[in-house]
Amino acid sequence: MPSILFLVLTLWCWWSTPLLALTVEELAPEREWQVEAIVISGNEAFSARELLATLRTKERPWYTPWKGRPVFDPVTFTADIERLQRFYEARGYYQSWVTYDLQVDNQDALVTAHISVAEHRPVTVTDVKVEVTDHQPDPADFPFPEQLPLPDVSSLRYGRDRAGPSGHTTPSRMACLDELSCSSSW
């Protein structure tokens, strides 16, 4: 009798908790997984909204429950984790760590991504020292063209009282003496 009770309790626990913690490599590639939620923890210097904006993997907005959930792409999500790491490094957090854990609901093929951030302290620049040497580079090392390419100035001549892209009127008269100098009147 105790072994049957143990078996029943084991099966009940297994079916009552359909969520399993996995990594991207452990997801069944033949199934089409959908994003249920993305949860970020451990972030203090940057808001979850700011970090979620850097991700390509998105969850369905709460105000569109009639739409289907976005597809979870393991390759995109792996790039997202690397993108978050670079986000922190670009802001001086070189010793930060970004890890993740996926909870999956096998029955509904849903993935909840739990992203953990360990920020540590950012690196700050306190002093910059510039030294100039007496060495002059040889001009032959940097060839300069005989003639520089000039833009087509005919596109700068506008008609009378035309409005430009900013809504301001463009010059009513433009006189070009040569390809290098033009004057305009408003």
**Kind of pairing between the strands at 110-118 and 34-41:** parallel
pLDDT tens-digit readout, 136-180: 777 777 777 777 777 666 655 544 444 445 445 544 555 555 555
Q: What predicted TM-score, i.e. pTM, was given to this entire model?
A: 0.60
pLDDT tens-digit readout, 110-137: 999 999 999 999 988 888 888 877 777 7
Q: What is the domain count for the chain?
A: 2
Position 109 scores a pLDDT of 92
Q: Is there a contact between 23 and 99 (Cβ–Cβ < 8 Å)?
A: no
Range of the domain at 101: 16-118
Asked whether residue 30 falls in the same domain as residue 83, the answer is yes
Asked whether residue 113 falls in the same domain as residue 175, the answer is no
Asked whether residue 112 falls in the same domain as residue 161, the answer is no
Q: In the chain, where do the E strands start and end?
A: 19-22, 34-41, 97-105, 110-118, 173-176, 182-185
Q: What percent of the chain has pLDDT over 90?
A: 49
Asked whether residue 94 falls in the same domain as residue 44, the answer is yes
Asked whether residue 113 falls in the same domain as residue 159, the answer is no
In a domain, 11, yes or no: no
Asked whether residue 166 falls in the same domain as residue 93, the answer is no
Supply the CATH number for residue 82's domain. Answer: 3.10.20.310
